[in-house]
Amino acid sequence: MGDMLTTRELADFLRLNEKKVYQIVRDGNVPHVRIAGKWLFPREHIMRWIDENVQREKDIMLVGSDDILLARLISLYSSENMPESIAYYASIGSARGVQAFLQGKSQGCCTHILDMETGEYNLPFLRRAMADRKYIVMNLWHRKQGIMVKKGNPLGIKGIRDIANENVRFVNRNKGSGTRCLLDYLLRKNGLDEKTCLTVTDTVNTHMEVALKVFFDEADAGLGIEYVTYPLGLDFIPLKDERFDLVVSKALWSTSVIKRFINYVEPSLIKGISGNLPGYDLSETGKVIFTN
C-alpha cells in the first residue's frame, strides 16, 4: 500500500487543519483506511485523488430539470472544448437539482420551479432553500408548458379541468420536477385535488417519456414542453410560459471554467443550435435575473 500518512501529516500536506480533514473523511471525499481505530491515508492514493480533483475542476457538472435545448448546448460545449473541458448533466428534476447543488455535487443547477403562493418562477423557492448562500441566477430561456394529447384531441381536452376526469388516463411527472410543481399549482388554482381527481396511469422522469406514453396510447394526456409534441405529431394545449434558469454559486461565477460555459449562453449561439425548436423564447437568454 506504500507510505501511509497520519491525519496530522495529511493536514500539513493539504495545508488544512485536522478538523477539516476529519470532515472530508466523514463526507467520503478522500481515500483512507481505518486500522486499529486510527485513520491512515495511503500517499499514492492521495496523490491520485488530488490529480483527479484538479482535472475535475476543469469540467462542468450541472444538475436539474430535463430540457432538450440544454442537452444540445452541453453537447456543443463538450465537443468544442474536449479534451480540456467537458460538461456533464444529471437530469434529476428541479427541486432535487437544487438539493444536489446545495450538497456540493455540482457547480450549478437548472430549474423551473413555480411558487404556489406568488406564481413566480424559481426565486421564491431559491430564497427559502438557499437563504444562507450567495448565488447568481441567470435565465437560459423561456419555455411553453401545456397538455399533450393525441393528434386531433379526440377527448376534446381544453384545459386543466378536463384532465380531472376518471375517463382521462393521465401520465404524471416525478415529484420535485418543475412540471409536477406546475401541475400542483394549476390544480390548486382550480380547486382540484390530485389524489382524487386524476386517473394517473404512470409517473415518468422526462418530457419525452410523457409524450411517448400519449403517442403509444398508454395515456390520454400529460403535461410537458411544447417541443416534444412535434416529433410525435401530438396536439398541444398551452397553459403556461415558464422561465428556465441556471443557478451558480457567487464564489464560482467568476472562475474560468464557469466563465467559459457562460460564454455559450448567448442568444445568437443558442439560436444556431435550437434550429426551429418550437416552444422556446430566447428574449432573456443570458440575462442575470438575481444576484446577492
Q: What is the pLDDT of residue 255?
A: 82
Are 279 and 224 contacting, i.e. CB atoms less than 8 angstroms apart? no
Are 278 and 227 contacting, i.e. CB atoms less than 8 angstroms apart? yes
Are 76 and 104 contacting, i.e. CB atoms less than 8 angstroms apart? no
Q: Tell me the mean pLDDT per 10 residues along the chain, length 292.
A: 82 87 80 87 80 65 94 95 91 94 92 92 95 95 97 96 92 93 92 85 94 97 95 96 95 86 92 85 95 92
Are 17 and 11 contacting, i.e. CB atoms less than 8 angstroms apart? yes
Report if pTM > 0.85.
no
Are 149 and 234 contacting, i.e. CB atoms less than 8 angstroms apart? yes
Q: What is the pLDDT of residue 1?
A: 47
Closest C-alpha to 228, from 74, 73, 68: 68
Burial class (CB in 10 A: 0-12, 13-18, 19+), 161: middle
Residues whose CB falls within 8 Å of the CB of residue 55, separated by 6 or more in sequence, listed in order: none
Q: What is the pLDDT of residue 256?
A: 82
> What is the pairing mode between strands 135-149 and 169-173?
unpaired
Are 261 and 254 contacting, i.e. CB atoms less than 8 angstroms apart? no
Nearest 5°: CA angle at 27, between 24 and 29? 60
Q: What is the mean pLDDT of the chain?
A: 90
Q: What is the pLDDT of residue 97?
A: 95
- Reading the block at residue 52, the C-alpha cell is 483527479
Closest C-alpha to 10, from 35, 28, 30: 30
Are 259 and 85 contacting, i.e. CB atoms less than 8 angstroms apart? no
Helix intervals (H) in 82-227: 94-102, 123-129, 160-163, 178-189, 194-197, 207-215
H helix or E strand, kind and range, residue 241: strand 235-249
